[in-house]
Amino acid sequence: MVPEALRQRLDRHLGRQLERWRGLERARRQTVRLVAVSAAAGLAVAGGSVVAAGPWDATGQRLAERDRAASAASAAAAAGGRAGRAGVPDPGLRGRPASAAPPVLPALGALGGPAAPPRYAEDLARDLEPLLQDPSLGDRHSAAVYDAGTGQLLFGADQGTACTPASTIKLATAAAALAALGPDHRIETTVVAGNDGIVLVGGGDPTLTSRPAKGDGPRSASLAELADATARALKDRGTARTKLSYDASRYSGPLLHAIGPNENIAPVSALMVDEGRLDDTDRGPAPRTAEPAADAARAFATMLRERGVQVDGDAAEVRADAHAQRLAAVSSAPLSALVERALTNSDNDIAEALARQTALASGRPAGFEGAAKAVTDRLAALGLPMPGTRLADGSGLDRADQVSADFLARLLLRAADPAHPELRPVLTGLPVAGFTGTLRDRYDEAAGRGVIRAKTGTLTGVNTLAGTAATPDGRVLTFAFMAQNTTAPDQAQRTLDRLASGLVD
């Protein structure tokens, strides 16, 4: 684990950096101080004194940055436009101050700055084009690299061609949810009075947990705390005996993803506990229940009995009265924390929940189809390049998803844009190369270790990588590399890692 004192120091410095990075000379001096602390942290980790375990959102080192971003001015509408040739700014960023969200370990030098000279793009092309031709990337691949401080397209290779994104589509799902609901939104699970007892009402929080809290990061909603509050409310009403029903009607459409029953995702229900996992894991593949809502109700009934409330019979599924009296409620961690957890761990259950929450906020049915339409609309409103874009789910498990490398790289530009502070968790949730999440065991020898932050995407024959890179000259780049029809996934991953490392080496 990262030492608590070090986490707090990083947190404070990240907060100061975000507050002062608007092009002032004072911000430049502050960045140097931050780099000293961050570099020390990186060396400690690389030297073996720090063990990276799990998503850093659970240890709190990004809280200051997230809170600072959430309190910034409300987002302005982003103007869209087509990506141009290398060296051309993203039209959606014209007229805005050069700025970029810092990685965990920024390079020395000021963030933002003047446009890259032509030679810069030429050097990138010289280094990246041979890697793109590596046989491990199959017969179809594309790439896009932007300067996050200026919006310049520095490198493109078939960047506008739509490809299967796999889990990198979670970046789009996360951005849409944050745009629709804001980083501070929480998902509630409630207990209300019913006609002949009480009703457990699911709000769509897959992280509702029946397990004891652990760690010092944002806490998941606790089923035990909901049982405590419910037992107290019943006692106040002079009731020690009740009938329990449950309501999972907030979501609509099929429960099962198109891939069918699978250890990578539970049936998508508005009421579930611990993502429907049947073991004690909290990430990665696991056996899943076929009845997440009914299982959650059974677990809740057991907890009520343990608290002295007699629950009669088995819980039945009902639809609660919209005006029913609320007896108790618990709330999820903020949406920003859910986004970070979804991206760091590539969590399919949270990603599908984020898509449905976007649908609910947009007045659409909260099923696969309604969620896909709602997310698409929110992304278009952010000014992203939509030609060829097709969303079929929120997690990327569906091969029908199609986006371009230009779309992903420019989405990350939006997340770094000072006009869109609500999107900042898209950046802070990215795994750190060699340290966290799905990149923890990659980049062992690569130059990108610690300075690449990226979302991975993997399906059979599909390998993708999209994220940010901090360069030695002080630039922050956003990138997306996509490969289709790959036959050697491990080698394809290594080649993608070499491409990302080529941005900073």
How far is it, in rounded angstroms, from Cα 426 to Cα 411? 9
Q: What is the DSSP letter of 288?
A: B
* pLDDT score for 13: 45
| Contact criterion met (CB below 8 Å) for 504 and 447 | yes
How far is it, in rounded angstroms, from Cα 404 to Cα 386? 9
Q: Break the chain down into helix, strand, coil percent, rounded to 5.
A: 40, 15, 45
Residue 223, CB-side half-sphere exposure with 13 Å CA sphere:
27
* Catalytic residue (choose from 38, 222, 245, 346): 346
What is the residue-wise DSSP string for 113-151? -SPPPHHHHHHHHHHHHHHHT-GGGTTEEEEEEEETTT-
How far is it, in rounded angstroms, from Cα 426 to Cα 467? 10
The pTM assigned to this predicted structure is: 0.81
- Of 384, 313, 324, residue with least CA distance to 144: 384
- Of 436, 420, 412, residue with least CA distance to 503: 412
- Per-residue pLDDT reduced to its tens digit, 12-54: 544 444 444 334 333 333 333 333 333 333 333 333 322 333 3
* Catalytic residue (choose from 170, 222, 395, 404): 170
Determine the 3-state secondary structure of 18 from DSSP: helix
| Contact criterion met (CB below 8 Å) for 403 and 169 | yes
Determine the 3-state secondary structure of 436 from DSSP: coil
* pLDDT score for 186: 98
How far is it, in rounded angstroms, from Cα 104 to Cα 50? 15
Q: Has 167 been annotated as catalytic?
A: yes
Alpha-carbon 257 to chain mean position: 19
Q: What are the residue ranges of helices labelled H in 219-334?
A: 223-236, 292-306
Structure tokens at 299: 């677990």
How far is it, in rounded angstroms, from Cα 22 to Cα 98? 8
Structure tokens at 416: 């770094």
Residue 444 burial (10 A CB sphere; 0-12, 13-18, 19+): exposed
| Contact criterion met (CB below 8 Å) for 414 and 382 | yes
Determine the 3-state secondary structure of 495 from DSSP: helix
* Catalytic residue (choose from 99, 167, 245, 395): 167
Q: Has 395 been annotated as catalytic?
A: no
CA 424, 427, 431: angle at the middle one, nearest 5? 150
Residues of the chain with pLDDT under 70: 1-113
Q: Could you tell me the CA-to-CA distances from 231 to 89, 235, 240, 293, 306 in Å, in that order?
A: 59, 6, 8, 20, 10
Determine the 3-state secondary structure of 425 from DSSP: helix
Q: Look up tokens 């990061």; give the residue.
A: 217
What is the residue-wise DSSP string for 376-413? HHHHHHTT---TT-B-S-SSS-STT-BEEHHHHHHHHH
How far is it, in rounded angstroms, from Cα 382 to Cα 153? 18
Alpha-carbon 429 to chain mean position: 5
* pLDDT score for 217: 74
Structure tokens at 323: 């005006």
Which residues contact residue 419 at a Cβ distance below 8 angstroms, ignoring those fewer than 6 apart? 75, 76, 78, 96
| Contact criterion met (CB below 8 Å) for 190 and 229 | no
Q: Has 170 been annotated as catalytic?
A: yes
- Beta strands (DSSP E) in 291-345 are 310-317, 326-331
Structure tokens at 26: 């004072």
- Per-residue pLDDT reduced to its tens digit, 395-452: 999 999 999 999 999 999 999 999 999 999 999 999 999 999 999 999 977 789 999 9
* pLDDT score for 351: 98
Determine the 3-state secondary structure of 470 from DSSP: strand
How far is it, in rounded angstroms, from Cα 502 to Cα 505? 5
Residue 224's φ and ψ, nearest 5 degrees, are: -65, -40
How far is it, in rounded angstroms, from Cα 460 to Cα 456? 13
Burial readout 404-433 (b: 16 or more C-beta within 10 A, e: otherwise): bbbbbbbbbbbbbbbbbbbbbbbbbbbbbb
